[in-house]
Amino acid sequence: MATSSWHPDSWRSFPAAQQPDWPDLDSLREVGKTLSELPPLVFAGESRNLQSQLGEVCRGEAFLLQAGDCAESFSDLTADLIRDKLRVILQMSVVLTYSAGMPVVKVGRIAGQFAKPRSSPTETVDEVELPSFRGHIINDPVFTADARVPQAERLIAAYHQASATLNLLRAFTKGGFADLQQVHSWNQEFVASSPLGQRYEQVASGIDAALRFMKACGFASEHEPKLHTVNLYTSHEALLLDYEEALTRIDSLTGDWYNCSAHMLWVGERTRQHDGAHLEFLRGVNNPLACKLGPTATPEEALGICDILNPDRIPGRLTLISRMGASKIAEALPPLVEAVRDAEHPVVWACDPMHGNTFTSSIGRKTRHFDDICAEINAFFAVHRALGTHPGGIHLELTGENVTECLGGSSELDHLDLEERYETVCDPRLNASQSLDLAFRVAELLTEKRNSPLTLE
């Protein structure tokens, strides 16, 4: 496959897992045509910048923070929600940068993270069987036959929502909100009064003092854009290939193909087959890419993915995201890391501590425990330290709101609390306090890494 010729639609001759059963292929084609004539959402040059920053992560000089919703919702498009999500990512990022002294590459699961792979194509409730909800870009979560019919026009709605979200993100990140002088104002009220919020305040005060010090030394910080603006890149799972194909364009500067629906795209655990449509599509676009690897992934599979997606071995081109589960990572991850290291494939290793740690709570809610999330991240760092590779980043599902979807954390959410504000349309997300809590723990791991090598138990 990797040597055959590539075109944005060459994936169509390969088996494509997890695609909806479209009732009306004509309207899907029409929608594809409409989308292919709409403006790109991101620019190729931005994707190249991200790839070069991921190259730094690859070399152990920076850390990747990739985070956002499991699935963005068509009913949740408000400025406040977008701002709050950005705010928690910025807070986490300053904690990591300040405590660990490492640049943080910030990538949102945002502005396009709509399509969801499902473990079963149908869902049965009270003996009624309907197609599963596959994300708002495809159908609606309400459990009625009408709502679950895939509708092609939703691809256009998703494009416009991604565009509005990205517009606001660009305004927030470049227009003053992300200015390091605002670092105190990112502390949300419901977090600020807690011990965690106070710990964040100490970091913020430290940053203030550093800025004052630089100014006193004559450093013209008002003219340094890096202190006043932030680069937040976008990413999503490239699952729905009709959408991805329609937004794939030739970059006029380089003549290369880029997927202009997001800066970075990943392929999920359920669609990463070597001979499948998803790898075929992704190998031809020049964006930085990622691939999820679950506990059944073999070293041969991981190496095959490296060869297909990054045959030229470009640092920053490929991120491998392990999502093993806290109880499996110590056994499942080392053979993969060793194989990739020994083959000298330059990859960013990131840890998704969410998707291998999902279970159903006693009250029937899908949830994750903060302790399992931390345990998987600890093990991820231990594996990389033992093997001499860089634990390059974390990949999280979170929101800036005070939701109650994951258990534990500093406010010790328990099973009964899940009923209070369980708002996700798909998987359970960390709330703002749990996210900040996690950032402090990861910062400690990054600092330890510098100070002492760890061995695997």
- Which residues make up the interface to ligand PEP (CB under 6 A)? 70, 117, 237, 268-270, 292, 323, 355
* Nearest residue (CB) to Co ion, 236 versus 385: 236
- Measured CA to CA, the distance from residue 56 to residue 315 in angstroms comes to 8
Residue with the closest Cβ to ligand PEP?
A: 268
Instruction: By CB under 5 A, tell whether 82 contacts Co ion.
Output: no
Pattern of binders to Co ion over 425-454, x per CB under 5 A? --x---------------------------
The interface region with Co ion, picked from 70-78, 88-96, 194-202, 398-406 by CB under 5 A, is 70-78
373 binds Co ion (CB under 5 A): no
**Site for Co ion (CB under 5 A): how many residues?**
2
Question: Which of ligand PEP, Co ion, none interacts with 269 (beta carbon under 5 to 8 A by kind)?
Answer: ligand PEP
Binding partner of 323, given Co ion, ligand PEP, none, CB within 5-8 angstroms per partner class: ligand PEP
- 278, interface contact from Co ion, ligand PEP, none, CB < 5-8 Å by kind: none
CB of 396 to Co ion, least distance (A): 10
Q: How far is the CB of 323 from ligand PEP (least distance, A)?
A: 4
In terms of CB distance, is 385 or 395 closer to ligand PEP?
395
Query: Which residue(s) pair with 265 in the sheet?
Result: 236, 289
> In the bound complex, what is the minimum distance in angstroms from residue 116's beta carbon to Co ion?
7
For ligand PEP, which is the closer residue by CB, 70 or 348? 70
Q: Are 120 and 132 in contact (CB under 8 A)?
A: yes
Per the CB < 8 A criterion, the answer to whether 118 and 168 are in contact is no
CB-CB neighbours of 398 under 10 Å: 26
- The entry of ligand PEP, Co ion, none that residue 393 binds, CB within 5 to 8 Å by partner kind: none
Residue 68 β-bridge partners: 109, 397
In the shown chain, the binding pattern of residues 18 to 57 toward Co ion, with x for contact by CB under 5 A and - for none, equals ----------------------------------------
Query: In sequence order, what are the residues at sequence separation of 6 or more whose Cβ sits closer than 8 angstroms to the Cβ of residue 342?
Result: none
Report the residue number, 182 or 358, with the smaller CB distance to ligand PEP.
358
Which one of ligand PEP, Co ion, none interacts with residue 117, CB within 5 to 8 A by kind? ligand PEP
CA dihedral 264, 381, 304, 44 (to 10 degrees): 20
Of residues 236 and 345, the one with the C-beta less far from Co ion: 236
* Residue 242 interacts with, from Co ion, ligand PEP, none (CB under 5-8 Å by kind): none
The residues that bridge with 48 in the sheet, in sequence order, are none
CA distance 456 to 338: 14
Closer residue to ligand PEP (CB): 199 or 270:
270
Give the other-Cβ count within 10 Å of 450's Cβ: 10
> Of 68 and 315, which has the nearer Cβ to ligand PEP?
68
Cβ nearer to ligand PEP, comparing 110 with 183: 110
| Of 242 and 427, CB closest to Co ion | 427
Options 54, 70, 265, 407; binder of Co ion; rule CB under 5 A: 70
Min dist CB 271 to ligand PEP, Å, is 8
Of 244 and 427, which has the nearer Cβ to Co ion? 427
Rounded to whole angstroms, the Cα distance separating 438 from 430 reads: 9
User: How many CA atoms lie less than 13 Å away from 197 in the CB half-sphere?
Assistant: 14
Q: Which long-range contacts (CB under 8 A, 24 or more apart) does 299-307 make?
A: 299/335, 299/336, 299/338, 299/339, 299/340, 300/339, 301/272, 301/274, 302/336, 302/339, 302/340, 303/339, 303/340, 303/343, 303/345, 304/274, 305/272, 305/274, 305/279, 306/340, 306/343, 306/345, 306/347, 307/2
CB-based contact 107:235 (threshold 8 Å): yes
CA distance 286 to 17: 22
CB of 317 vs ligand PEP, minimal distance in Å: 20
**In the complex, minimum distance from the CB of residue 435 to ligand PEP, in angstroms, rounded to a whole number:** 16
- Residues 401-430 interacting with Co ion (rule: CB under 5 A): 427
In the bound state with ligand PEP, the residue whose beta carbon lies nearer, of 263 and 355, is 355
CA 136 to chain centroid: 18
User: 84 touches which of ligand PEP, Co ion, none (CB within 5 to 8 A by kind)?
Assistant: none
Residue 268 binding partner per list Co ion, ligand PEP, none, with a CB distance cut-off of 5 to 8 Å that depends on partner kind: ligand PEP
The single residue listed with the structure tokens 């003219």 is: 223
Q: Which of 446, 436, 444 is nearest to 92 (CA)?
A: 436
Residue indicated by tokens 């904690």: 95
Give the up-direction half-sphere exposure of residue 226: CA atoms within 13 A in the CB hemisphere: 6
Q: Which of ligand PEP, Co ion, none lies near 56, with the C-beta cut-off 5 to 8 A by kind?
A: none
Tokens of residue 197, six digits:
């919020």
Q: Label the pairing between strands 289-293 and 318-322.
A: parallel
Structure tokens at 369: 């425990």
Residues at the interface with Co ion (CB under 5 A): 70, 427
